[in-house]
Amino acid sequence: MSSAFSLAGKTALVTGAGSGIGQSISSRFAAAGAFVWVADVDATGGHATVAGIRQTGGAAEFLKLDVCNEADFAAAFARVPVVDVLVCNAGIGHVGTVLTTTPADLERIFSVNVHGVFRTMRTWMPGMVERGRGSVVMTASTAGLGGLVDRFAYATSKHAVVGMARSAALDVARTGVRVNCICPGRVETPFVRSRINEYPDPAAAYREMASTQAQGRMGQPEEIAAAALFLASDDASFVTGAALAVDGGWTAGMFPQK
């Protein structure tokens, strides 16, 4: 896979890289010339991502990282003290309204989706600032740009990710480090496909989910990875603090039209 955006000579670290969007980002970055540290709590998935990258001629290594575990961060940093591109992608979901979501549910979601992103930034961003260069890309969601029915905890956490990206970007704007986030719409990841297969009629469920997108289809992980590559590359040198919707037009219709 070739790309107009180069990461040649750069070291990238991607969390949640064992499957789905994180796996696609890792593969895309490697194809663009980066050495990729594939970070995930799931060793099986992480090693599979590394194997896929190596099979296509890319360079990658697996890095064990549970974004809820401070000890894992210490060990990961000892092994990988310097990165040029940091992708905070690890995240989990939750189904529930404000009335059915428990404090424990909210705490679990925030531990991964919010505190995990914060811990990742706090571990590797100081070195970026010290060296005067670097790009941070976070995976947020269109749920971080508007509300979603029955996704109270998830949407709340993704609003926090968007806020972290914008605020962190301003904090380091004059250091040479850029911070952005991507807000994917519904993407056909292995997780989404597994949820669809739980329905009595998976084919009908798939059509229903796809029909809610403006383009009438779900996105593919590779399409999110393409946006991440742009933001990570030097071609996006004047882009920081952005919340880039990659959603097939879903957010274009979020609000009433006049």
CB-based contacts of 141, cutoff 8 Å, min separation 6: 154, 155, 158, 161, 183, 184
Here the tokens at position 50 are: 């590394």
Here the tokens at position 150 are: 């029955």
Sequence-ordered alpha helix ranges (H) in 114-215: 115-131, 152-171, 190-196, 202-211
DSSP state of 80: -
DSSP state of 187: B
Residue 254 confidence (pLDDT) = 63
**Residue 31 and residue 6 in contact, taking contact as beta carbons nearer than 8 Å:** no
Q: What is the CA radius of gyration of the chain?
A: 18
CB-based contacts of 27, cutoff 8 Å, min separation 6: 1, 49, 52, 53, 56, 58, 225
**Residue 118 and residue 157 in contact, taking contact as beta carbons nearer than 8 Å:** no
Name the residue ranges covered by the structural domains of the chain. 11-250
Query: Which residues in the chain show pLDDT less than 50?
Result: 1-2, 255-258
Q: Mapping DSSP to helix (H, G, I), strand (E, B) and coil, where does residue 130 land?
A: helix
Residue 189 confidence (pLDDT) = 83
Residue 63 β-bridge partners = 39
Indicate the residue type of 100. T
DSSP state of 114: T
DSSP state of 136: E
d(CA 4, CA 137): 18
Residue 197 confidence (pLDDT) = 85
Over the stretch 174-202, which tens digit does the pLDDT of each residue have? 999 999 999 999 998 887 877 788 888 88
Biggest distance spanned by C-alpha atoms of the chain: 55
Q: Mapping DSSP to helix (H, G, I), strand (E, B) and coil, where does residue 18 land?
A: coil
Over the stretch 198-247, which tens digit does the pLDDT of each residue have? 888 888 888 888 887 889 899 999 999 999 999 999 999 999 999 999 99
Residue numbers annotated as active site: 154
d(CA 127, CA 100): 42
| CATH 2.20.28.10 corresponds to the domain 11-250 | no
